[in-house]
Chain A
């Protein structure tokens, strides 16, 4: 039931989340931070043992080179993440401390003697309860699809873990690359920006109401803010008729599913008789993209932004090659020569771009 609640509550988080930051540093070196739930948390100066039940932060920890400080992770990361076992092969040694992200086995956590727990900002009461019962500081963080927050989050985690230089290097790389895309596309007039519909999360009619990579890549999300902001949702269900009425220039299909898990595919969209009148279907402008998956992977977000920029405006990014650029980005963040090649083999990204 809690998990079902998560599905309901999760989309409503975006509007209410605070911007995490460092508030102060004590003489002892203890750090006081404000997390995404606007909680004030005091963290010891030296953090050497980490439990992370937040996938996005777990990936950042590995990217920062602090993977060996992890002493416990969550079930989702081990069983459902496509790449984690490749970017951090030692993960198999780590005990699982939670099933669904908030179903934490507190006794296991305490027995691991962590200095800090990173959690998802679902609900303040749950996060507070974990901290109160374990007496271990819990920091709840998530960028929730906001690219600028992702870079800030990288710096904050780096500060907490004492890996400021690496965090600065990676966030500068990330912000610089995203900035380059923005710079190259800033003068694209609105009528030259493709009108994009995204079929995400396993449904033809489920779509994000805001998606940073599309916006940065100078595309227009047709479902942008169709739900009032006050509801704080990241996605909604639209009517098929609405898709027909929009007549998008291009359709993006969530490609972060394993091929065997995909209930919506490029082929199923192209063959759907209800969509036959769409210009994007007739011109076969239907493509996979990565999409928001089990929180964000900073490397994947950057790669997706550049991939979409190339897809939307090939004349401005003629040199882009998904495989080569993917390998370079994954090398930068995770130090792997074949990191993206492995992900690509899992998701069959080589089949994504077609004529």
Chain B
């Protein structure tokens, strides 16, 4: 690891922390830094509430904090999932949604929004169908001679199938339900409250931590199967574990934030371009970079327009793709 790579790695680690605390001060309502800090600490030290304007607590604790925590963990989780699946499949084009998770989640949400209404919340329905889509992919591709190719192809097929089901539900949906679904599919970090996050965030954190802990094995899994076996690795078990954790993370994020594209594809590549291809560094740094990246994208989503809000999924693509193209042209190669 060169000196430059080390410095870049340190910057990447600091990026989400700086972004998180700076972003707590960003919003339509101007809240000075001491107001933000007092509001944050007030649940522990109730005396700090004294003298604070009434709406500060609601904005910092009820609006900004859950949103930023979700951005932090969702960005980290999606990026780590993407990096892990790319290493596992030895394919740089793989992303966290390749196994049908997004289509499954979208279909699940559509069933809830259009048919079941409040009796089956979209978050739960999206999670259930995201996991179901991956299970179907795994079941279909389990006995193939070339498991990874089969896995990716099956993922594409299952995605297409759930997309068709989604179109069918959309076709029969009432105009109201269709609008709700449309906005859900665009991705938004601002809607989930503490109730939804209390389930989603721990699942995302556990899955992300699990993948980071497996970073040593990713290097082995990205070798050929024969090489990996010769090193004494139980390939099937390890791969299933990576897929399980990536699914858990992506489904947990998608179920509350909708589909936020490109994070898991772009971020790991950016990290590889900066610090090299060793997964022991790429996986944890992808978490840091992804967290900061999604916070930044969300800052733009809620900061660019003064009053109205633009879905964050639009910005993850708008920022990431040109930046990615720029780096790609500079480095003239795809890293894996």
Q: Specify which of A8, A79, A242 is in contact with B28 (CB 8 Å cutoff).
A: A242
Is A26 among interface residues, defined by CB-CB distance under 8 A?
Answer: no
Interface of A (DSSP majority class) = mixed
Interface centre among B183, B306, B308 (most CB of A within 10 A): B308
A4 contacts B28, CB within 8 Å? no
A294 contacts B183, CB within 8 Å? no
Is B146 among interface residues, defined by CB-CB distance under 8 A?
Answer: no
Is B226 among interface residues, defined by CB-CB distance under 8 A?
Answer: no
Interface residues of A in 64-82 (CB under 8 A from B): 76, 79-80
Q: Specify which of A227, A238, A244 is in contact with B58 (CB 8 Å cutoff).
A: A244
Is B45 among interface residues, defined by CB-CB distance under 8 A?
Answer: no
Is A186 among interface residues, defined by CB-CB distance under 8 A?
Answer: no
Known: A238-B307, A242-B28. A3 touches B171 (CB 8 A): yes
B180 contacts A245, CB within 8 Å? no
A244 contacts B55, CB within 8 Å? yes
A275 contacts B176, CB within 8 Å? no
* Assembled-state Cα–Cα distance A274/B195 (Å): 13
B179 contacts A202, CB within 8 Å? yes
Known: A3-B173, A80-B174, A99-B171. A273 touches B309 (CB 8 A): no
B58 contacts A203, CB within 8 Å? no
Interface string of A224-253 (1 = CB under 8 A from B): 001100000000111111101100000000
Known: A4-B178, A202-B179, A273-B58. A244 touches B29 (CB 8 A): yes
**Which residues of chain A are within 8 angstroms of B58 by Cβ–Cβ distance?**
244, 273-277
A239 contacts B309, CB within 8 Å? yes
**Which residues of chain B are within 8 angstroms of A242 by Cβ–Cβ distance?**
28, 307-308
**Which residues of chain A are within 8 angstroms of B170 by Cβ–Cβ distance?**
1, 3-4
B190 contacts A261, CB within 8 Å? no
Task: Tell me the minimal C-beta distance from A79 to chain B in angstroms.
Answer: 8
Q: How large is the interface on A (under 10, 10 to 19, 20 to 34, 35 or more residues)?
A: 35 or more
* Assembled-state Cα–Cα distance A276/B63 (Å): 12
**Chain A minimum-CB-distance residue to B302:** A239
Interface residues of A in 1-55 (CB under 8 A from B): 1, 3-4, 6-8
Is B118 among interface residues, defined by CB-CB distance under 8 A?
Answer: yes
A239 contacts B180, CB within 8 Å? no
**Which residues of chain B are within 8 angstroms of A108 by Cβ–Cβ distance?**
none
Task: Tell me the minimal C-beta distance from A263 to chain B in angstroms.
Answer: 7
* Assembled-state Cα–Cα distance A257/B174 (Å): 11
Task: Tell me the minimal C-beta distance from A83 to chain B in angstroms.
Answer: 15
Interface residues of A in 253-289 (CB under 8 A from B): 257, 260-261, 263, 273-277
Task: Tell me the minimal C-beta distance from A71 to chain B in angstroms.
Answer: 24
Is B156 among interface residues, defined by CB-CB distance under 8 A?
Answer: no
A277 contacts B183, CB within 8 Å? no
**Which residues of chain B are within 8 angstroms of A1 by Cβ–Cβ distance?**
167, 170
**Which residues of chain B are within 8 angstroms of A206 by Cβ–Cβ distance?**
183
Is B13 among interface residues, defined by CB-CB distance under 8 A?
Answer: no
Is B182 among interface residues, defined by CB-CB distance under 8 A?
Answer: yes
Known: A4-B170, A294-B175. A203 touches B180 (CB 8 A): yes
Task: Tell me the minimal C-beta distance from A331 to chain B in angstroms.
Answer: 28
Is B321 among interface residues, defined by CB-CB distance under 8 A?
Answer: no
Is B236 among interface residues, defined by CB-CB distance under 8 A?
Answer: no
Is A217 among interface residues, defined by CB-CB distance under 8 A?
Answer: no
Is A201 among interface residues, defined by CB-CB distance under 8 A?
Answer: yes
Is A106 among interface residues, defined by CB-CB distance under 8 A?
Answer: no
B175 contacts A76, CB within 8 Å? yes
Interface of B (DSSP majority class) = helix
B308 contacts A237, CB within 8 Å? yes
Q: Specify which of A4, A6, A227, A263 is in contact with B308 (CB 8 Å cutoff).
A: A227
Is B62 among interface residues, defined by CB-CB distance under 8 A?
Answer: yes
A226 contacts B63, CB within 8 Å? no
Known: A238-B307, A273-B62, A274-B58. A260 touches B118 (CB 8 A): yes
**Chain A minimum-CB-distance residue to B182:** A7
Known: A273-B62, A276-B58. A205 touches B309 (CB 8 A): yes
**Which residues of chain B are within 8 angstroms of A277 by Cβ–Cβ distance?**
54-55, 58
Known: A226-B308, A277-B58. A241 touches B27 (CB 8 A): yes
Task: Tell me the minimal C-beta distance from A261 to chain B in angstroms.
Answer: 6
Q: Specify which of A80, A205, A274 is in contact with B62 (CB 8 Å cutoff).
A: A274
* Assembled-state Cα–Cα distance A53/B248 (Å): 44
* Assembled-state Cα–Cα distance A80/B178 (Å): 12
Q: Specify which of A244, A261, A293 is in contact with B117 (CB 8 Å cutoff).
A: A261
Q: Specify which of B55, B117, B307 is in contact with A239 (CB 8 Å cutoff).
A: B307
Task: Tell me the minimal C-beta distance from A215 to chain B in angstroms.
Answer: 18
Task: Tell me the minimal C-beta distance from B67 to chain A in angstroms.
Answer: 9
**Which residues of chain B are within 8 angstroms of A261 by Cβ–Cβ distance?**
117, 176-177
**Which residues of chain B are within 8 angstroms of A276 by Cβ–Cβ distance?**
58
Is B59 among interface residues, defined by CB-CB distance under 8 A?
Answer: yes
A263 contacts B118, CB within 8 Å? yes
B307 contacts A257, CB within 8 Å? no
* Assembled-state Cα–Cα distance A337/B58 (Å): 48
**What are the 9 closest A-B residue pairs judged by CB atoms, nearest first?**
A274-B62, A277-B55, A241-B28, A80-B174, A236-B308, A237-B309, A202-B180, A277-B54, A226-B307
Q: What is the interface of chain A, defined by CB distance below 8 A to chain B? A: 1, 3-4, 6-8, 76, 79-80, 99-100, 103, 201-203, 205-206, 223, 226-227, 236-242, 244-245, 257, 260-261, 263, 273-277, 293-294
